[in-house]
Structure 1
Amino acid sequence: MEPSMEPSMEQGARTAVRCGDCGGAAVRSFGQFLDRDRGRELCWDAELHCPSCDLYMCEHSGPGPMPEDLRTALLTAHGPARLRLSGPLGDPVAALRALREGAGTSLGRTRELLAELREFGLAGTTVEMARWRVRLGERGVTTEVQDGFGRAYRYVGPPELRELATGGGRVGQPVRTESGFAAWVGARPAAELAEPFTFVVDLGGALRLAPRRSEHVACANGELVLSAGEIGFQRSDGGGAGGAGWEVGTVSNLSTGYCPDVVSWPAVAAALDRIGLPRPGGFTQAVVFRRCPDCGQCGIVREAHYVCVFCDADLPERWNVDDGCCLP
């Protein structure tokens, strides 16, 4: 993947909302950008327009962190970007200072950010990663911003299930390396390994694994994902990852909580390749999710029969489960 040497200093999206004045369909336009003078201050703006009653309202324009719902919409519309080192780190203390000043977090969390930057890269919106690139560059740390990692999927299941599933902390265990997978698989009982596991690929591109009956939203700690489904491992004669002798036997995008499109496979493949696991060339079970434009129910298309099982309406050929999040 070719890095983007000049990351965008602004990024925007639109969502459909209900007008508070007339109740009609309104459009909320919003964006994230960097201060033009110094290129290091994170800013955002948002405005609302209702064509039915001609309401126009500017909600915000200026510095500050973007509300999480709008940030989620940006990531859903454009996918995440990743910031990676483009040369030797040099002075780790300088990088720590830049990260701590920019994030405003504890020293412990700042060290975690630095470890992520060194090993796999930081992930977020393109504008956020452009900001980090500027801040780190001021401290002599050279980085590059990469994008094109595909769509980010947000949880679209029942809200009460999300609250219940994420109440006890993160369930999914991140597996990023060959040795990490060897340690993880070595700690699993034989009965557990005989079944597929719940998995997600997080925004950082890491594979997160949990027992099969775990909710995907819990595996992801309620966060956005690049893909989600079920994955099964089997013994391999070829040595497998980390000398553990395993490979991927089955893998699907079956997740009714995130309903990822079949085109999310490259994110899964990249996560498995990073671990060094032999894998198939695509989903062994590719699940086609669609939302009915008439009744609003989300279901699975079987045998290319694009008809809603709830109301018999025709279903679109393209993925539309979360179209309400962002407008084209």
Structure 2
Amino acid sequence: MTDEGQGVRTAVRCPDCGGNAVRSVGQSLLHGRELRWDAERFCPRCVAVCCDWGQEAAPRDIREALLTTHGPARLRLSAPPTDPAATLAALRVLREGSGLPLRQTRELLDELRDFGLSGTAVEMAYWRVRLTERGVATETADGFGRAYRYVGPPELWPGDDGGTGTGRGQPVRTAGEFAAWAEERAERTAAELAEPFTFVVGLGGTLRLAPRRSEHVACAGGELVLSAGEIGFRRSRDGWEVETVGNHSTDYCPDTTSWPAVAAALTLVGLPHPGAFTHAAVFRRCPRCGNCNLVREEHYACAFCDADLPEHWNVDEVALP
């Protein structure tokens, strides 16, 4: 018995004959409370069929296909965050279900309480069932469109473990964390704060910051993002605020429609912002030559082969029509 499910069909190369095959992947909630994933590949040329499945968290490639196609779902606590009983029960559920250390489980709880716990629709249904069983009331929240995966050069990919270098961005979740981060840089050199910083917004709504010219994929630890770009700050009479913000990131090429996720992350931190991207980048992939373009002055023509570019975002279309 499957209560909830989500799937996507993708085009892949057949490992047996090299032909064009179709891979169907999905995730479902079995018996109302158990996660299950499945994958099936079919090649019409050699009629090869391959099936696989598991009753645990979905593999990274399947999860990414679902998130980039359907977008992340969000789940939040209905009870006030000051309710200690709900907080403790939620913490126990998250730790038991994730198997993560206490520190990382607390980060999940912060997401659940503030921005909303994010993941596939099936994963959020899984957590909602488990939380309800412990008497923790939750509610679904509006999403922020699609998730974006890394589309840059393979040599910059930090690996499935997110890399261990110093490029990973500093998470900033509260006004106090941002003030401490900004003051530390102001003490080193005023010039550092005068330039924009690299930023990403993770699936959990956390703003991550890194020095300018840092790779966005390193700042995100290789994870999917809700948006990415560059951001500049200034100090006003009332404190820090966002002066400039844009979505220019050739690592993720996010659409201009990713702004609501950025606005939500900045609001969570308590940073006043302009209300929209001050520098909006329009990315399109050429359907003829496959190159990614940065559209300038609404001239939708490929800079490499002069073919017409589509009006809709198409840099990383995963699903088959």
- Which one-letter code corresponds to 2:170 in the other structure? Q
Aligned 1:94-173 pairs, distance under 5 A: 94-163=89-158, 166-168=163-165, 171-173=168-170
**Mapped contact 1:130–1:145 kept (Cα < 8 A):** no
Structure 1 position 61, deviation (Å): 4.0
Identify if the C-alpha distance between structure 1 residues 157 and 270 changes in structure 2 by more than 3 Å, giving closer, same or farther: same
**Mapped contact 2:72–2:147 kept (Cα < 8 A):** yes
Equivalent in the alignment of 1:15? 10
**Mapped contact 1:30–1:47 kept (Cα < 8 A):** yes
- Which one-letter code corresponds to 2:72 in the other structure? P
Cα distance between partner residues in 2 of 1:209 and 1:158: 21
Structure 1 position 20, deviation (Å): 2.7
Structure 1 position 52, deviation (Å): 4.0
Q: Secondary structure at the match of 1:134?
A: helix
Name the % identity: 69
Equivalent in the alignment of 1:219? 219
Structure 1 position 178, deviation (Å): 2.0
**Mapped contact 1:80–1:147 kept (Cα < 8 A):** no
1:50 aligns with 2:46: no
Relative to the length of structure 1, the TM-score reads 0.87
Deviations 1:206-247 (A, max 9, x none): 21111112111111111000000011112334x1xxxx2x22
Cα distance between partner residues in 1 of 2:103 and 2:211: 29
1:180 aligns with 2:177: yes
Equivalent in the alignment of 2:191? 191
Relative to the length of structure 2, the TM-score reads 0.89
Equivalent in the alignment of 2:234? 234
Query: Where in structure 1 are there 5+ consecutive unaligned residues?
Result: 1-7
Identify if the C-alpha distance between structure 1 residues 100 and 290 changes in structure 2 by more than 3 Å, giving closer, same or farther: same
Identify if the C-alpha distance between structure 1 residues 247 and 95 changes in structure 2 by more than 3 Å, giving closer, same or farther: closer
Equivalent in the alignment of 2:205? 205
Alignment match of 1:307 (pick from 301, 304, 310): 301
Identify if the C-alpha distance between structure 1 residues 306 and 298 changes in structure 2 by more than 3 Å, giving closer, same or farther: same
Q: In the comparison of the two structures, how many residue pairs are matched?
A: 311
Query: Where in structure 2 are there 5+ consecutive unaligned residues?
Result: none
**Mapped contact 1:28–1:46 kept (Cα < 8 A):** yes
Aligned 1:206-285 pairs, distance under 5 A: 206-237=206-237, 239=238, 244=239, 246-285=240-279
- Which one-letter code corresponds to 1:188 in the other structure? R
1:287 aligns with 2:284: no
Equivalent in the alignment of 2:51? 59
**Mapped contact 1:198–1:231 kept (Cα < 8 A):** yes
Structure 1 position 89, deviation (Å): 5.2
Cα distance between partner residues in 2 of 1:306 and 1:197: 29
More moved, 228-237 vs 66-75: 228-237
**Mapped contact 2:254–2:283 kept (Cα < 8 A):** yes
- Which one-letter code corresponds to 1:14 in the other structure? R
Structure 1 position 93, deviation (Å): 4.5
**Mapped contact 1:126–1:147 kept (Cα < 8 A):** no
Identify if the C-alpha distance between structure 1 residues 292 and 228 changes in structure 2 by more than 3 Å, giving closer, same or farther: same
Deviations 1:277-327 (A, max 9, x none): 22213111111111112221112111111111112222111111111x222
**Mapped contact 1:166–1:217 kept (Cα < 8 A):** no
Q: Secondary structure at the match of 1:266?
A: helix
Deviations 1:227-273 (A, max 9, x none): 00011112334x1xxxx2x2221111110110101111111111122
Q: Secondary structure at the match of 1:327?
A: coil
Equivalent in the alignment of 1:327? 320
Equivalent in the alignment of 1:31? 26
Identify if the C-alpha distance between structure 1 residues 115 and 274 changes in structure 2 by more than 3 Å, giving closer, same or farther: closer
Structure 1 position 111, deviation (Å): 3.8
Q: Secondary structure at the match of 1:187?
A: helix
More moved, 282-291 vs 93-102: 93-102
Alignment match of 2:65 (pick from 55, 61, 73): 73
**Mapped contact 1:89–1:141 kept (Cα < 8 A):** no
Cα distance between partner residues in 1 of 2:105 and 2:263: 29
Deviations 1:94-150 (A, max 9, x none): 433322321123344334433443344322111111111111211221222334221
